[in-house]
Amino acid sequence: MQRELVVMVNGTRHELVVPIRLLLVDLLRDTLGLTGTHIGCSVEGRCGACTVLVDGESMKSCLMLAVQTNGRNVTTVEGLGTGPDGLAPIQIAFREKHALQCGYCTPGMLMTATDFLSRNPEPSEGEIREAIVGNLCRCTGYFHIVEAIHEAAEKTSPAAERER
């Protein structure tokens, strides 16, 4: 019923014994206290609020068992910011473009956007909209979220880096 688990979360190594059926999202929130990762739909993985990075790729932590992350690196929204004020460029862009209202979807949006921009540093608006298909927002109508991801791309793209 239980298994040993060794997992890196935001750079910290955790050695745990967990129930096999424990979902990654519940490991993060309940066991490790990292409540930045949210639970929206909780069943079919449609809302994307629980999105985290596993070995750098965005995945839904409600659609993974904790034991499946054995030996992997998990990054949550708490581990995203590395800048001087503790925020990543994508977080600064969300703040500046007013890309959230209630904020419930925001952690998942940030994680998906982080993965997406690492693959596609200079995306079109259509590509951005396609990238966040798996993240539901019921407040903003997505306009400001798309703008924020675009802004983050412009600030961090290879072209922007070259100009610096």
Partner 1 sequence: MYPAPIDDYFAPAHLDEALTLVERYGDDAKVIAGGQSLLPMIKLRFVRPTCLVDLTRLSGDDGEQLRRLRVVDGLLEVGALVRHADLVDGALTAERLPILAAVARGVADLQVRNRGTIGGSLAHADHAADYPPVVLALRAVLEVRGSGGSRTVPAGEFFVGPLQTVMGTREILTGVRFPLPPKGTGIAYVKHSAVAGDFAIANACTYVETDPDGRVTTARVAVGGVLPRATLALNAAELLMSGAGPEAAGQAAVEEVRTFGDTRASGEYRAVLIGAAVAQTAREAIAAARKGGSGHAA
Among 36, 115, 145, 153, binds partner 1 (CB under 8 A): 115
CB under 8 A, 24+ apart: contacts of 95-103:
96/148, 96/151, 97/144, 97/147, 97/148, 97/151, 98/144, 99/140, 99/144, 99/145, 99/147, 99/148, 100/139, 100/140, 100/144, 100/145, 101/139, 101/140, 102/138, 102/139
Q: Which is nearer to partner 1, 57 or 161 (CB)?
A: 57
Using the rule CB under 8 A, is 63 a contact of partner 1?
A: yes
Residue 102 CB, nearest approach to partner 1 (Å): 21
Applying CB under 8 A, the span of 39-47, 87-95, 145-153, 154-162 interacting with partner 1 comes to 39-47
Q: How far is CA 8 from CA 35, 67, 109, 111, in A?
A: 17, 12, 22, 17
Applying CB under 8 A, the span of 9-17, 50-58, 83-91, 141-149 interacting with partner 1 comes to 50-58
Binding stretches for partner 1 (CB under 8 A): 1, 3, 20-21, 23, 26, 42-45, 48, 51, 57-60, 62-65, 67-68, 70, 112, 115-116, 119, 130-131, 133-135
